[in-house]
Structure 1
Amino acid sequence: MPSITTCRDALELAVRAPSVHNTQPWRWRIQRGRVDLFADFGRQVTATDPLARALVVSCGAALHHLEVAFAMLGWQAEIDRLPDPDRPDHLAKVRFTPRPPSDLDIRLAAAIHLRRSDRRRYPGMPVPARDLRAVSRCASGFGAAARHVPDSMLSELAAPMRRAAARHATDTNYLAELEQWSGCHGEPNGVPARNAPAARSSDELPVRVFSESELSEYTDEPDSAHWLVVCTPHDNRVSQLRAGQATSAILLQATYLGLATSLQSEPLGMLDLRDQIRTTVLQKCAYPHVMIRVGVMPPAAAPLESTPRRPVTEVIETA
């Protein structure tokens, strides 16, 4: 079984997972022969994510990061999702069996360190179709799918995104919450101003605007991002967890392929707008959990600093 030191090393990578507003809403417990994942509902952003869907998706992303980290360290994770019906915060129980790491395991673990949420406009450099197919396929291993939204349907995605942005612009609770979690300088959580660009009202598909912004755009041209909608056939907590795992797999594969990515979920916290996306974009065949922008940033673009994380000692306990 993995040692305590090995578990801590793996968790150092797991907590690099993306989360809504970089709230890092997870807790971990290391026990003999296993690691348990718990949702930290005290870090829920209730105006942004009133039903805690994005919180659980965030935890699912961290769960997949953990799986990748252990694979690189020579252990295969065996995941039991929602193991305790009396503990809704107990999201997963993870046990391990030894397995030599593959080259892909090592590359994906390296991608954890390289991945950034790049919220800038993506210039018009083409994304190879084979790469889009490769990242989309990653979702299927988790009982999820990643629907690539074709250009002809982008207006169907843009409409609820614009409605969400307009509502949030006058929602005092949301704006206060956003102020708390953005423009951060030196804090170990939240979205730093250095990683947030200014509002882009001219773009067809608006991205979430944070309260402070210091990140310069690489291009003034319209954003040329491709959009993926991560979705599942069912709409429950297990599905949210699986969607988070699929999201992490997509992001790491995209990073490995040299693609830029960022997550968007603003309209999905509103029931009517989420249902609109399900009806128009997904044809009522699945439930949306998160949208992913995918594009290419040229080497000449200024590199992004990593967003901060809480020390792993703050989010783990040893039984």
Structure 2
Amino acid sequence: MDHGLPDDDTVKTALALAVRAPSVHNSQPWRWRIGSRSVHLYLDPARALPATDPDQRDMVVSCGAALHHLRVAFAALGWSAVVHRLPNPADPNHLASVELLRHRPTQAEVELSAAILHRQTDRRHYTSWEIPSGYLGLAAERAAALGAIVRRASDRSREHVIAAARAAAVQHAMNPEYRFELANWSGRHSAVDGVPARNTPTPRPEDELPARTFVAPQLGDAAQEPDFAELLVIGTSADDRLSRLRAGEALSAVLLTATNVGLATCVLTEPLEIPDLRRDIRIGVLDDSSYPQAIVRIGWIPTSAEPLPPTPRRVIADVLDPFEPSNGR
């Protein structure tokens, strides 16, 4: 970058944290470009999952999470990110342009940045320990600042989420294209993307909320009690590409906030990948006033649980396009 802006090592450090963001099937559907005075985020159509995510909603949400991770990383490194979302109407895959200004990091920004390296998708059972309301309130507050709402699904609204999740599991089980795609993206051992076998526990038929059925699960889950996870639904007032991008940013804020206080999280999207079921959640949980974009399982993992193995990520060189002066300032 130009003099007075972050050096290349700083930019690549921030990008290395940004790509730690969660993504549907760990598909990592982003590409980055460094301009002379900005960083650009693009959706990578080559990473599409047509059977799982036919309208690319999950992909855009995933990229939004990476965008927020990038902003948090830059803030901790001493740079404030000014984000221009969907800056090029002629290219809908150009999701964001990020300009940088000198900035003094706050303690909260440093803590959130540190949480990036500790956050992992934990699909195991959570305990019955209560989550302090202040933790959930802070997560909702940070999501609201990014243009999304967070609704805790409880009682009747929780039943709507569970019913939709069960119906989605049944419909997907009968869809050979979906099963083939899931098999291609899970059960891996040495790949740099996809869902590793070592990070997925065996689904339990008696569970209240069915887990997505990944290939060859190998993760141990010693919990004998039912899962006591809370369910948070993240929604937006509109359902266009900009709203989905912002939903991903809000999702990242919720996950990093939870990680920072020691909570485990797991993002659920399967019930939202089928339009009729997504509409049921919109009506039953969000009072037909917002569009659900992601569901988060959140709770305390047992203290006896083993640490999760790391989930792989592609190296920066694989997701970074060559510098082109005409495409970025």
Sort the TM-score into its range (normalised by shorter chain). Answer: over 0.9
Q: CA deviation at 1:300?
A: 1.7
User: 2:317 matched to 1:297?
Assistant: no
Q: Tell me the equivalent position of 2:105.
A: 101
- Name the structure 2 match of 1:225: 229
Please give the per-residue CA displacement for 1:158-209, whole angstroms capped at 9, x wherever unaligned. Answer: 1111110001111110110000100111100001011101112212221212
What displacement does 1:40 show? 0.3
Match of 2:47 among 43, 46, 52: 43
- State whether residues 126 and 302 of structure 2, in contact with CA within 8 Å, keep that contact through their aligned partners in structure 1: no
Distance in 2 (CA, whole Å) between partners of 1:267 and 1:72 is: 35
Greater CA drift, 208-217 or 286-295? 208-217
Shift of residue 298, structure 1, vs aligned partner: 3.0
Aligned counterparts of 1:57 and 1:218: Cα–Cα separation in 2: 32
Match of 1:148 in 2: 152
How do 1:244-263 residues align onto structure 2 when only pairs under 5 Å count? Answer: 244-263=248-267
Number of the residue aligned with 2:129: 125
Deviation string 1:259-312 (CA, Å, 9 cap, x unpaired) is 000000001111111111101111101000010000001332111012000001
Of stretches 209-218 and 173-182 in structure 1, the one that deviates more from structure 2 is: 209-218
Listed as ranges, the gaps of 5+ residues in structure 1 are none
* Rounded Cα–Cα distance in structure 2 between residues aligned with 1:112 and 1:105: 11
Q: Deviations over 1:107-151 (max 9, x none)?
A: 111100000100001121221122122222221011101111113
Q: Which runs of 5+ in 2 are unaligned?
A: 325-329
The alignment partner of 1:142 has SS state of coil
TM-score (norm 2): 0.95
- Fraction of identical pairs, as percent: 47
Q: Which of 68, 73, 82 pairs up with 1:69? A: 73
- Give the structure 1 partner of residue 327 of structure 2: none
Cα RMSD, aligned residues only: 0.9
Retained in 1: the 8 A contact 2:166–2:209?
yes
Following TM superposition, by how much is the alpha carbon of 1:153 offset from its aligned partner in structure 2, in angstroms?
A: 2.4
Partners of 2:287 and 2:297 in 1: how far apart? 20
Match among 178, 181, 187 for residue 177 of structure 1: 181
Stretches of 4+ aligned residues off by more than 4 angstroms: none
**Could you state the TM-score of these two structures normalised by the residue count of structure 1?**
0.98
Distance 1:248 1:20 in 2: 13
2 CA distance for matches of 1:131 and 1:17?
Answer: 21
CA contact (8 A) 2:268 2:296 kept: yes
Secondary structure of 1:308 counterpart: coil
